[in-house]
Amino acid sequence: MHISDHFDAGNIEVIDAGDPAAVRLAIRADSNADFFQWFHFRATGVGGVDCAFRFENAGEASYTKGWEGYQAVASYDREDWFRVPTEYSAGVLTIRHTPERDSVYYAYFEPYSGERGRDFLAHCLAAPQVRHTVLGQTVDGADLDLLTIGAPGDGKRVCWTIGRQHPGESQASWWMEGFLGRLIDPADPVARAVLDRALVHAVPHMNPDGARRGNLRANAAGANLNREWAEPTMEKSPEVFLTRARMRETGVDFCLDVHGDEGLPYVFIAGSDGIPSLTERQTKLRAVYDAALLRASPDYQTEKGYPKAPPGKGNLTMCTAYVAEHFGALAMTLEMPFKDNANAPDPKVGWSAGRCRHLGGACLDALHAVIDDLRD
């Protein structure tokens, strides 16, 4: 048996791989930070072998409740991913699997490679209504890409969506394919109606450095980008600094920040509850958006989610709270599970890339429902 993580988003440390029935592993911490939960590795020479991969530091991971009821994903070809038996006990996460082929990949969720992201960017740019701007460079020197969809015009709403502030939450990149793919479809009547009324700005990947390095939450400097919005710096969090600066130039009427949640087996939205300036208009818009997304996607629900922040106690270091407070926008954080969706389980694949894409498409219907009322 040979185990490797020397590829895009790879993360594993091998303690002892001498016995396939008791492979001892550890998850590597994020760059310059203590976060860890994301893993992604390849095992070779395992066809027909009963394997048990034991993550011995799982009990020290960032979100141990994320292991409860969790099943890892595996793939032979990096295209079709499926869930494999996984258990968590006494601080150890164990994957038990008898691969059908000699080489198999395992991951925390379906990985989304930088190469696929560049291919999708090129696909979007083939559409005539899409413009591309490089906002600047990340800590590692990667380009921070901004897509602007639609034609400028007086009175048009300004909508933003960003993904992958937390690099291990690859759900956001799959969601972007669904949302942007539908938005640029000239035959889609909802997309045309949105673009008649709005200009849409999208940063598909806020944290390419962290994703490439196999991080869970941090960028290359060790910063949790979704705690940098109050006072970002070019040294520690240029990704937020540059995005926030462009938002100040364009203004913001709507912002959706797309994430994955380790613990809760649901699709849900966290709003801007608790910001000092929360208005009745923002609250009503959120209710309209929720109702529209419930109609558009059976995967969405509003019963389970994070506790609401008390009035005046919103965390303004986070994107959603900062944008809602600073711009008076309808700003929300969309969360998707690493586990299966408990309301609509799929034992074979669980929550998956395909379901992320469909949810992205459904979110365009919800945006359409609020687009006319985003300004007084």
Q: Which residues contact 122 (CB under 8 A, 6 or more apart)?
A: none
φ/ψ (deg, to 5) at 81: -110, 145
φ/ψ (deg, to 5) at 345: -70, 150
**What are the structure tokens assigned to 84, written together?**
């494999």
Q: Which residues contact 325 (CB under 8 A, 6 or more apart)?
A: 272, 275, 276, 277, 314, 316
**What are the structure tokens assigned to 141, written together?**
């020197």
Q: Any idea which residues carry the catalytic annotation? A: 335
**Are residues 135 and 248 in contact, defined by beta-carbon separation less than 8 angstroms?**
no
> Could you give the CA distance from residue 166 to residue 34 in angstroms, rounded to a whole number?
14
Amino acid at site 182: R
CA distances from 374 to 120, 199, 282 (A): 29, 12, 9
> Could you give the CA distance from residue 230 to residue 319 in angstroms, rounded to a whole number?
9
* β pairing state of 2-4 and 143-149: unpaired
Cβ count near 217 (within 10 Å): 26
